[in-house]
Amino acid sequence: MTDSSQKTYVHDTHRLRDPTHTLSIVQPFLREMGITRIANLTGLDRIGLPTVMVARPNSRSVAVSLGKGLSLQAAQASGVMEAIESWHAERVRLPQRLARHTDLADEATVVDVERLPKVTGAQFDPNSNMLWVEGRDLKSQRTCWVPLEMVDTDYTAAPLAGQRAFPRTTNGLASGNNDAEASCHAICELIERDATTLWSHQTTTARVDLGTVDDPRCQAAIEKVTGANLEIGLWNTTSDTGIASFRCVIGEAGGQPGHIGIGDGCHPDRAIALLRSVTEAAQTRLTYISGARDDLDPAEFTDQAQSDRCRYVRDLIDRAPPTENFQDCPTHLTQTFEDDLALLLNRLEAVGISQVVIVDLSRPEYDLSVVRAVIPGLEAPHDDADYIPGLRALQIRQETA
C-alpha cells in the first residue's frame, strides 16, 4: 500500500492514483471478491454522464454497486471500489471483544455511545453483553472500541452478539489507495449525511444560481443535464462544519412524468462537492431506469410512486428561488490527504465533535485501504426508515419553530 499522501488525480474526485492505475491494481482480486461483471449503464439515459453497475452475486449485503465519474474509467473505478468496500465490511477480521459497556469502559477507551445515532424501537443497554470491534481514535491515536453492529455489513443474519441499538448501514464506509485517502472519503460521507439531514429540517432554502457556478467541470456536467431537456436544482447544504456539501435533483422539464435523480456530494473542494452531487443524481436516475439495484422495492416502480417522486422534485424546485451564489460556499484546496484529514478534524472539533474513530478493515494482501469511520455527534441520514433525530437536528428544529 502506498505511503505517500500526495494527490495525483484531482479531476472529478481526489485520489492518489488515476482511475486506470487503480483498476489495474484491483483487477487480479476481483474474482476472489466475487465481482463478476462491470456493465456500462450510461447509454440507457440521455444525459451521458458515465455510470456503471458492478455485480457481486454472492454478496452478503447488496449484490449491485454503482459507480459514476466524468469518464468511463472513473465510473468503473468508483463502482469497483464500492463493491470492494462492501466485501471487506462483510468479513471483519479485526480483534473483537464480548463485553458489557460498563466493564469495557473501565479498562479501555470506548466510543461515546451516548452521541451515536439511535434507531426507532431500540435502546442501548450498557449492562448487556455485546461484541465490540477495534478502532483507532484519530485525535488520541489510541485504540477505541466500537459496536460491531455499526461496522459489520453481513446482512444475511442478525448482528452477532449485538443489541440492534445502532444503525446497521454502510454510512462512513470508504476505500482509497492508502489510509489517509480512505479516511478522508469516509469522514466526508458522514459530514455529507449530517449536512443533508440538517438541511432537510430547515423550513426555507434557496437554490444555487447556476450562473454563478464558475468551475468548467461543473458547468459541463450541468450542461449535459440541461442539454438533455431535463431540469436541475442545486442546493448548498453546507453545515456549520464549513466543509462544502451540495444536493442536486434532476427531473423532466415542465413537470412531465419520468424518472428523477437525487444526489449529494461533500468535499473540502467545493467544485468536487458540487460535481459529485450532480453525477450522483445522474446515477440515481439511471438506477431507476435500469432497475439495477437489488435493494429497490418493486413498489418504487408503480405509476403512483413515480408520480410522487416527480411532484417532490417539482415542489422542491418551485419553492426555492435561485438566489444562492456558488462562490459563497467555503472551499479548501490542499495538495495531500494528510492536509485534508487535519482540516476535517479541525472543522469537526470547531463544532464540538472531537472523537473520530477509524476502523481499519484493510487486508495486507491487497494494495488498497478500506475503513469505516464512526463519528459520535453527527446526524444519521434523515431518510432512513428508523431514523431518530439527534441533538444537532433537534437544535435546528427549535431554531426554525
Q: Express each pLDDT in 189-215 by its tens digit.
A: 999 999 999 999 987 789 999 999 999
Instruction: Look at residue 46 and tell me whether its pLDDT is greater than 90.
Output: yes
User: Sign (positive/negative) of CA torsion 152, 63, 158, 392?
Assistant: positive
HSE-CB for 247 with a 13 A CA cutoff:
22
The pLDDT of residue 127: 97
Count of all residues that appear for the chain in the document: 401
Please state, in angstroms and rounded to a whole number, the distance separating the CA atoms of residues 227 and 214.
Answer: 18
Residue 132 pLDDT grade (very low, low, confident, very high; cuts 50, 70, 90): very high
Q: What is the pLDDT of residues 370-388, one digit of tens each?
A: 999 999 999 999 999 999 9
Query: Measuring CA to CA, which residue among 227, 223, 293, 289 is closest to residue 43?
Result: 289
Whether 210 contacts 234, CB under 8 Å:
yes
Q: Which residue has the higher pLDDT, 398 or 347?
A: 347
Looking at residue 4, its pLDDT comes to 67
For residues 301-313, give the mean pLDDT: 90
**What pLDDT, in 10s, does the model give residues 3-37?**
568 999 999 999 999 999 999 999 999 999 999 99
What is the rounded distance in angstroms from the CA atom of residue 339 to the CA atom of residue 358?
17
Quickly state the pLDDT bin for 400 (edges 50, 70, 90). Answer: confident
Q: Which of 156, 109, 149, 112 is nearest to 129 (CA)?
A: 149
Distance (Å, whole) CA 237 – CA 273: 10
Average of pLDDT values for 113-131? Answer: 96
Give the per-residue pLDDT at 3: 52
pLDDT value at 1 more than 70: no
Predicted confidence band of residue 160 (pLDDT cuts 50, 70, 90): confident
pLDDT score at 286: 97
* Average pLDDT of every residue of the chain: 96
C-alpha dist (Å) from residue 92 to 87, 167, 352, 372, 395: 9, 17, 30, 11, 36
Give the DSSP H/E element, type plus range, for residue 190: helix 179-200
Give the per-residue pLDDT at 204.
75
Q: How far apart are the first and last CA of the chain?
A: 50
Q: Which three cell numbers stand for residue 242?
A: 464549513
Rg (Cα) of the chain, in Å, rounded?
20
pLDDT at 179 over 70: yes
